[in-house]
Chains A and B, each alone.
Chain A
Amino acid sequence: RVSSDGKPPKFQPPPKPVIIDRKTQKEEKRFLSPEFIPPRGRTDPLKYYIERKDMIQRRKVFNIPEFYVGHVLAVTTADPYASDKSKRFVGICIQRGGNGLGATFVLRNVIEDQGVEICYELYSPRIQAIEVLKLEKRLDENLMYLRDALPEYSTFDVNMKPVPRMDHEEIPVNKLQVRMKPKPWSKRWERPKYNIKGIKFELPEHKMKAAQKWSQPWLEFDMLREYDTSKIEQKIRKELSEELEK
């Protein structure tokens, strides 16, 4: 380069390399299935340790993919009464419950105008395959309100092709606001106890205000209800990575 003075340009040292340790960052962000985290209680942690060992054994044999509530899954189970001894069900995951080996997830679909929900156990030996067809998180962790929503929001094609995953990092959040059937609903979803953000409430203003009467704003400051899982999670992640490497 030619400088204004005619002298050689002032020496500029190269920028220091910024070392980003991607491995540890990735390990922290990697998904830990919610059933590994033991519930709050006074039981001996040995029980959960033994259960986790069994869960890891099952996971080594059978691949349980990472999925959240709102994903569309296809599950093939073994059934002695089905033709070809196996049956396949496609549906949206509306809730994940249970801890340890009894972890369950509920899939919902509408077939021939009839809403069907099946509760599957993740670690059941009857399950032959779980495929994730559509990766999509929703605004809530519990989509039970889909029972009272219009059926179009729960219909998924049985022969749906798996949607290819774009990014290997983020799972897209679908900010869909669902429209509901006319009241009465199975639960009063407008009440703040359920804290649902994924419904488009078309109720009049005075009803929404009346529902806020049941809000309990002191609950989030209640210290006895706090359950800090960060340290437990770290321990479990360490255990998992050790066991899966064996």
Chain B
Amino acid sequence: MASTFTRMIAGRYPAALLASLGAGTVAGGLLLSDSALFAEGKRSLYPPSADFPDLRKHSNCMAAALTPAIYARLRDQVTPQNWTLDQCIQTGVDNPGHPFIKTVGAVAGDEETYEVFAELFDPIIKDRHNGYDPRTMKHPTDLDASKITNGVFDEKYVLSSRVRTGRSIRGLSLPPACSRSERREVERVVVTALAGLKGELAGRYYGLGDMTEKEQQQLIDDHFLFDKPVSPLLTCAFMARDWPDARGIWHNHEKNFLIWVNEEDHTRVISMEKGGNMKRVFERFCTGLKQVEQLIHERGWEFMWNERLGYILTCPSNLGTGLRAGVHVRLPILSKDTRFSKILENLRLQKRGTGGVDTAATGDTFDISNNDRLGKSEVELVQQLVDGVNYLIDCEKKLEKGQDIKVPFPVAQFKKY
């Protein structure tokens, strides 16, 4: 069998390579570390130009940034964990996007992705984050909630308030790249740390694979349960592998602090409550985050973070703060005004339906949140959201009284740090 085997593949790679390895090794399968010679043979048969993806019908940040020259330089590079460029961009190749909605089209497999493939990711980041240049700029981190002013909204308009972010555990691969054992390790590290939370943050964990029907129903009723991803943006990025292994939901007994484990990121951290007290939501958010960080430090772990990019997450769109602060707000009159979109744009806010991203608004209630993630601190972004929502409510009140409203000046872009 071995000699037939050698002959079989002689057509593909130079026979000399095989002879030097020995047919027995080949028939028995190479060890993971020995494939270098074969990779070499394949590279000479297929230059980067043969593999360059067809992006002519594509509309995403990756397709806009990736040139044949960049691909040629990066195709054969790997991160220390052996994550490749093709794996980063597969989701962008498989999802051409829509002319009106520009998706990112690339994901990170590990922290080093953003360094090893910087030649591609830096322009993507610049495109997605309004000109933020990772080569020259620094990202500020600020989780001091006491700085927020006017953070309690009129509850006649604001029905609920929510802040979310993500955190990655340094030293473990991200959801597109992680093995089962790494994913289970993330779960173990996070769940152990969360067990140390006390007082109003004390809570419990529900593993997706282990929960009872009753628990599942309760989580659905609370709007806490997340499902196996169906979006091809996520499934093409290998994030749904081994579902539901090591995925779960943790929440405190008060049900206003919630953590998703191993969904689209290692962790997604959410603080939320009914009503308009965004300041309190953000306070709990910051306290909770700091306590969790402390708890993992005690066990020798830390979050992925650097000065250039802030908190490191799977999708480049969530770099920096990874923060989306938002409200469900009723704006029956303003939402029908033709200036609504422009007002949102200048306030650097986005609207979504009340089901979250890519859903439609029900009635006159909108999910309004910050557009930006990177280049401004958490405090800055939450304050921007607070100021913006207050402005929108003010507009709504004016329109109720038959008064006119003004489109505000655009909010300033980055400061240089």
Task: State yes or no: do A and B come from one complex.
Answer: no
Binding site for A on B (CB under 8 A): none
